[in-house]
Amino acid sequence: MAKVFAGAVRKWGRPAVEVEQGVIDAGERATNGLRRYLRVFYAVATVGPLLGLMGTVLGMIQTFNVIASPGAAALGRTELLAGGIAKALLNTAGGLTVAIPASLLYAYFGSRVDRLIIEIDRLAQEVVNVISAEELRDRKAPSTRPARAA
C-alpha cells in the first residue's frame, strides 16, 4: 500500500489523470509482487495430478507386462499383478495428496490478494482525490457563495 501511495505522492499537485497514472503504475508493480508466489501454488496444483497420472500409467504398464509375460503363469499369482496395481494407485494418491492442498492454498491466497488489491484501489482513489491539482485548486479558491444573513 505504501508503494502505491508513494506513486501518487510523486505526482502531488498534478492533474488527477497524472496522479491516477502514478497510482496505476505503482499498483501494477505491487500486484505483480503480491501474485508472485501464487504461481508456485498453481504450478504444484497443476503438475501434481499429472505426475500421479504418469505413475498410474507406468504402474498399469507394469501390470500388463506381467500379464503378457511368456507362459501367462502370472494370472494365478495375484501378488505379481498387485504390485503394478498398487504402484498405479499409490502414484495417483500421491499426486492428489500434493495437488489438493496446493489448490486450496492457491484459492485462499488468491482471494486474499484480490481483497488487498480492491482495498488498495479504494484508498488510492481517495489519495488521488485529495492531492490532485483540481482538488488543491478548489480548496484554495474562495467561496463564491453569498454570505448568509443572520
145 belongs to a structural domain: no
Residues 6+ apart with CB under 8 A from 80: 66, 74
149 belongs to a structural domain: no
- What residue type is 57 in one-letter code? V
pLDDT score of 1: 84
146 belongs to a structural domain: no
Residues 6+ apart with CB under 8 A from 81: 63, 66, 67, 74, 75
Q: Quote the CA–CA distance of 133 and 19 in Å, as a whole number.
A: 9
Domain that includes residue 20, residue range: 2-140
Q: Is the pLDDT of residue 75 over 60?
A: no
The band of 99, judged by pLDDT with boundaries at 50, 70 and 90, is very high
Q: How many domains does the chain have?
A: 1
150 belongs to a structural domain: no
pLDDT score of 100: 95
Q: Is the pLDDT of residue 78 over 70?
A: yes
Single pTM value for the model: 0.70
